[in-house]
Amino acid sequence: MNWETVTFVRVYLTEADRTLEPLLKRLHDQEKVRGVSVFRAMSGFGGSGVVHTATLVDLSLDLPVTVEFFDLPEKVDAILEHVSDLVDAGHIVRWQAEMNS
């Protein structure tokens, strides 16, 4: 099996940010990354310490959302320069990974 080095990126948002749709549009339409997944959390908190949670009584519309994508390291570097205006500082994590090819 052959392996290729890719950069994996995780972006932390909340539903209330209104950032998800423009970010996905950019990753799909303009950047054409290899793969994107979006996960909606049941609960979470960030630097503010405010806990966002979903209960059966109160279905919050401000839950944590995680966007994950990967591509070649050079491409991800360029993408991150372009999306930095969409995402607040401290909300993007990246690391190198190996993808079977």
Q: Please state the domain extents for the chain.
A: 3-100
**For 19-72, how does the pLDDT look when each residue is reduced to its tens digit (9 = 90+)?**
899 999 999 999 999 989 999 887 777 777 777 776 655 565 678 899 999 999
Residues 6+ apart with CB under 8 A from 29: none
* Strand partners for 101: none
pTM over 0.95: no
Burial 43-62 (b: 16+ CB within 10 A, else e): eeeeeeeeebebeeeeeeee
- Please give the CATH number for the structural domain made up of 3-100: 3.30.70.120
Q: Beta strand 52-53 with 64-71: parallel, antiparallel or unpaired?
A: unpaired
3-state secondary structure of 68: strand
